[in-house]
Homo-oligomer: A and B are copies of this chain.
Amino acid sequence: MNQIPVAVLGATGSVGQRFISLLDNHPWFKVVALAASDRSVGQKYSDAARWVLNEPMPDYARDMIVVPATTDAVQAKIVFSALHNDIAKDVEPQFARAGSAVCSNASSYRKAEDVPLLLPEVNAEHIHLVKIQREQRGWSGCILTNPNCTSTGLTVALKALDDAFGVKKVFAVSLQALSGAGYPGVSSLDIIDNVIPNIGGEEEKVEWEPRKMLGKLVDSKVQLADIIFSAHTNRVAVIDGHTVCVSVELAQPADPEAAEAILRAYTAPESARELPSSPRPAISVRSEADRPQPRLDRFTGKGMTTVVGRVRRDPILDLKFVVLSHNTIRGAAGGSIYNAELLVNEGLL
């Protein structure tokens, strides 16, 4: 089979590990390079990485020698970036210029007008921004981004409601997993028997990123959706899976049953529906009184499905509900891979 060569930048960190795990036996992609910081370069991956996932390190990665994150050392059609934002800012354009499609989990270019901020099941058509991007920047490659992990599930659920009823205002209070902070990330002394009621920079992202993804593409520009968001973000003692409590005001009020039906019936745009990483289903709606729960529901649809529950009336706005999404699968590495698949499928690689 003719597989597309791909690389992972930032391969030793927790999101990098998730990329490596999800790319094991991928039907279209073959990992040809693992890049990380100087400290790790030259070592076997199994020596360089402190593996933190429950699932074992894939065999293909164990003996690969870690290379630096440079266009000389890494030659791949697609480059998955789990780099820190400050490094991503410099490195990702170098790869795009050199002809790689960079599928990035970093936030550095999410706000750039010609860079798609992409959830294929929500705004697959935004991928056409890469044409503008290539023209304007003279790149043969490109940069695609996925949103922060808390916006991810929230935006999928809002998309279904927005299509059907119009969304005007959104309250979102997150209970976020520890893996979202990377490794070593949050000290155990800070979170056992505790909650940290703030995550630096996260509330601004949750209040802005969904507006770009829910925006319309008009004349090759994204018009931000006219929705006001208010976010509180919290860290809790959960390994994986972000829970978000949401209240929404709708343009056309809807009762909970109608909203549930709309959420349940939601499907990705056709171009994003049958890709290897497409969530199946896009949204799972739970009817139990106490679901979704991160430990029990985060692996729904192999961690790609957005899980919604407790859809009910809100006394101030219109509806309240709970959203769960796996933050390092759908909300990070899995999302970037899904983006790459869409790029390939659209003939834009």
Contact = CB atoms under 8 A, between A and B. Distances in A.
Copies in the complex: 4
A300 to B, nearest CB: 7
A293 B197 contact: yes
Nearest to A296: B54
Contacts of A196: 290, 293
Contacts of A292: 197
A76 to B, nearest CB: 28
Nearest to A284: B56
Contact of A173 (B56, B200, B245, B289): B245
A100 interface: no
Using C-beta atoms within 8 Å of the partner chain, give the interface range for chain A.
35 or more
A160 to B, nearest CB: 19
Most buried by B among A192, A193, A228, A237: A193
Given A197-B309, A230-B315, A54 B191 contact: no
A178 B192 contact: yes
B178 A175 contact: no
A198 to B, nearest CB: 4
A317 interface: yes
A322 B231 CA distance: 12
B316 A228 contact: yes
A82 to B, nearest CB: 16
Nearest to A56: B300
A294 interface: yes
A207 B207 CA distance: 26
A4 to B, nearest CB: 30
A54 B295 contact: yes
A295 B193 contact: yes
B294 A195 contact: yes
Interface stretch (A118-126, A142-150, A181-189): A181-189
A187 B186 contact: yes
A134 interface: no
